[in-house]
Structure 1
Amino acid sequence: MWRNIASNFLTLMIVVLIGAAAAIAWARHEFTGPGHSEVAQCVRVAPGASLNAVSKQLAEQGAVSSGYIFRAGADYMDKSRDLKFGSYLVPPKASMQDIVNAITAGGPSSCGTEVQLLVGVRGNAILLRDMNPDTGAFEEMARFNPANEEQPEAITAAAQKPDARLRITMAEGVTSWQVVEGLKAAGFLSGEVAEVPAEGSLAPDSYEVESGADRATLLANMAQRQQTILATEWEDRDFGLPYETPEEALIMASIVEKETGVAAERPQVASVFVNRLRQGMRLETDPTVIYGVTGGEGVLDRGLRRSELNRVTPYNTYRVDGLPPTPIANPGRAAIRAALHPDETDYLFFVADGTGGHAFSRNLEEHNAAVARWREIERQRGEPADSPVQGDG
C-alpha cells in the first residue's frame, strides 16, 4: 500500500511540476511575445505612481493581458522601482517587456495631450498638441500668442486635465529676460521671479513640468543644467583658445549663437572671432551692439543707426577691444561646443550670402567683394542696405 501511495504521490508531483513549467512557459510567452492591443497605446506614468497602479491601468486600457504577469516580469527584470514619470507611445502588438522598457527608460514624453510654452527669440506662443495614435505624430490643435491674444478655452481645459503633459521649450539664443517673460505668461506655472537670471546662465532645452510648478525653481533647474553643460564642455576644450575662464567661453558661444542660424556654420563663425582675438582685432559684431541697445529686453526691429555704431559702450565691439562683459543671450550646447572647438581656418570676416548662410573671407579684399555681392542681393530684393560690417554677417 505504501508503495502505491508513494507512486501516486510521485506521479502527482510530476504532474504538478509539468503544470508549473507549462504555466511559467506560458507566462514568459505572454510577457515577451506580441501583445494583444491592435492599436498604438499611450501609456502614462503619473508622478510617484507605483508599479501596481500602473499595471492595473495598463490592464484596464487593454495594453497588457495580465497586470500580475506584467508586475512579475518587471520584478524579474529588476525594473519595478525604475518607473519614469511621463507619457509613452507604444506601438500595436507591443509586448509587456517592451512596455516595461519604455516606461523605465525615461526621456521626453512621446504621446498624450500636451500644452507647451514656446519661448522664442521673436516672441512666445502657447500651443495645444495631441498625439494621433494612427501616425504616432503630434498634431497641433490650438495656438495663441500670450502677449496679445486671449487663451483659447481648449488650451485652458487641456492644461487642467490631470493627465495632460505640460512643457516649456526654450529656444537657443533667447535672452534671460525673454525666458522670464515667457514663464510669466504660462498660467499653469506658479510663483514669482525675484530677478532676471544672469545672461547666458540658462540652458535652452525642453522641460517637462507639473501643473503649478514654481517658476523660480524651474529657472534654477535651467541654470544648473547650463552650468553642467559648460563645465563638461570646458573640460574637453581645445588647447590654446583665447579664453581664460569658462565664462569667457560662454560669452563667445552667445555671440556665435546670435550670428548664425545655420548649425553647421557655428564652428566656422567661432573660428573667425577666435582668429580676430588672437590677432588683436576687434570683434566688430552687430549682435553685441544690439544687446547694448536693448539690454536683452525684446527685439530691435530695425537696422542699427550710425550713432549706435559710433557710441562707445561695453557691448559695442566696433569701438572696444576683446569680448563684451557678459553673454548676449543663452547659447545652446552646440554653440558652446563650437566656441570651445572652433574650426581651424584663417578666416577673419563673414557676411550673409543670400542663402541663409554666410560667405567667409581671409582678407579685407575678399570680404569687400562678398559684401558687394550681398548689397546687390539686397538691392534686387528691394531691401534697405545694412550697416557696413567687418566681422559681422
Structure 2
Amino acid sequence: MRRAGIVILIVLALGLALLAYNFVGGWTRSGPLDHEISFVVPDGASVGSIATKLEQEGAIGSASAFRTRARFLGGSAVIKAGEYTLPKGASAAQILSILQGGKTINYLLTVPEGMPSILVQERLMANKDLTGDVAVPEEGSVMPDSYAYQKGETRQAVLDRMQAAMKSFLAEQWEQRNGNAVVKTPAEAITLASIVEKETSIPGERPLVAGVYGNRLRTGMMLQADPTIIYPITKGKPLGRRIRKSEIAQVNDYNTYSMTGLPKGPIANPGRTSIEAVLRPVPTKALYFVADGKGGHIFADTLEQHNENVRKWFEIRRQRGEM
C-alpha cells in the first residue's frame, strides 16, 4: 500500500509538471503567424477584447488560453493603445510584451518651412489616418518639421504638438538674441522671420536678409517684400501669376509696399533657421537685394549699386525669355 501511494504521488507530480510545462510552453513557444502583421490596440481596450482580436487576426490559437496565461504569466504592465508590428511566429508572451512595451508604429506628417497655416490645416484634414476636425491655426504658430503620429489619433493632438514645438523653440531662441536684432517682441520675431523665410530658400542667406530688413526698419524704409503683397490675396497660397500693379499699390495691414514697419502678423510658418536669422542677424550695411539668376541674391549698400544689380537681373530674365 505504501509503495502504491508513492507511485500515485509520483504520477500526480509528473502530471502537474506536465501541465505546468504545457501551460508555460504554450505561452512561450512560437505562435501561428506565418507573416508579419500590423495590429491596432484601441483606446481603453481590455485584455479580453484584445485576446479575441488577436485570435480573429490569427496571431494566437486561443483567446481564452491567452487570457488565462496572461493573468498568471504576463506581469502587471498595462497594454498601451496604438499600432504595433507583430513578427512572424511571435509567441503569446512576445505579443503581450510588445503590446505592453508601447513601441508603436509611428507615421510622419511633414510641414515644410514657410507653409502657411491654411495649408497646414488642409494637410491635416487630408490625412485619412487622423480623426476629428481642426481649425486653421494662428499664422506663425506652427513649427515646420516632421511629426510622428499614430493611426486614429486626433488632428488636434498633432497640431498641439506642432504649436508646442514652435512655442518652446521661440522661447529658447528669444533668450539668445543678439544686439543686432531689431525685433522687440517674440511676436515681431515670428512676423519678420516669416518674411525672411519667403524671400530666400537658401539658409546661409537668411541672416543677411534679416540684416537688410533690420536696417530698413531702423531707418524707416519700407520693407517692400513681395510675399506681403500676396498674403492678403491668397492667405499664403501660391498666387499662380505675376503680381499686378494694382496689388502693389493696395493699402492693407500686410502690404509692405504701402506701409513702413512690419505687417500686422506673420505671412507663413517660418522654420528654425529663419527665426535664428532674425534673432541673430549678421552685421551689414546693405539695404537692398535682388535675385542673382543662380537661385541666390546680390546685396547692395546703396541704391545706385542696387539699380545696377537690378539691370543685370533684368538682362538675365530677357535672355531666358521671361521678359
Normalising by structure 1, report the TM-score: 0.56
Share of identical aligned residues, percent?
A: 48
1:137-152 equivalences under 5 Å are: none
Residue from 335, 341, 361 that aligns with 2:280: 341
Q: For the residues of structure 2 that align with 1:86 and 1:353, how far apart are their CA atoms?
A: 49
Cα displacement (A) at 1:243: 1.6
Which is richer in helix?
2
Pick aligned residue for 2:221 from 263, 268, 281: 281
State the shift of 1:368 in Å.
0.6
CA distance in structure 2 between the partners assigned to 1:358 and 1:308 by the alignment: 24
In the aligned structure 2, how far is the partner of 1:368 from the partner of 1:230? 36
Matched with 2:295 is 356
Work out which structure has the larger RCO, using CA pairs closer than 8 Å and 6 or more positions apart in sequence.
Answer: 2
Match of 1:192 among 133, 136, 156: 133
Please state which structure has a larger fraction of its residues in strand: 1
Q: Larger Rg: 1 or 2?
A: 2
State the SS of the aligned residue for 1:289: helix
Matched position secondary structure for 1:190 = coil
Q: Distance in 1 between matches of 2:121 and 2:251?
A: 29
How many residues end up aligned between the 2 structures?
235
Q: Deviations over 1:205-243 (max 9, x none)?
A: 111110011001111111111000110000110125322
Counterpart residue type for residue 222 of structure 1: M
Give 1:175's match in structure 2, choosing from 111, 116, 140: 116
Provide the residue aligned with 2:65 in structure 1: none
Within 2, Cα distance between the matches of 1:330 and 1:229?
13
Could you say which residue in structure 2 is the equivalent of 1:292?
232
Find the counterpart in structure 1 of residue 269 from structure 2. Answer: 330
- TM-score, scaled to structure 2: 0.68
SS at match of 1:213: coil
> How much does 1:260 deviate?
0.4
Aligned to 1:224: 164
Q: Provide structure 2 residue ranges, at least 5 long, that are not aligned to the other structure.
A: 1-35, 42-81, 85-100
Q: Distance in 2 between matches of 1:209 and 1:300?
A: 31
In structure 2, the residue matched to 1:311 is 250
1:264 to 197, 204, 208: 204
Give me the CA root mean square deviation: 2.8
Change (3 A) 1:364 1:210: same
Q: Structure 1: give runs of 5+ residues left out of the alignment.
A: 1-41, 48-84, 88-103, 110-162, 385-393
Once residues 216 and 147 of structure 2 are traced to their aligned partners in structure 1, the CA distance between those partners, rounded to angstroms, is 37
Name the SS for the 2:313 alignment partner: helix
Regions of 4+ moved over 3 Å: none
Q: Distance in 2 between matches of 1:251 and 1:211?
A: 34
Residue 358 of structure 1: how far off its partner (Å): 0.4
2: CA distance between counterparts of 1:366 and 1:212? Answer: 57
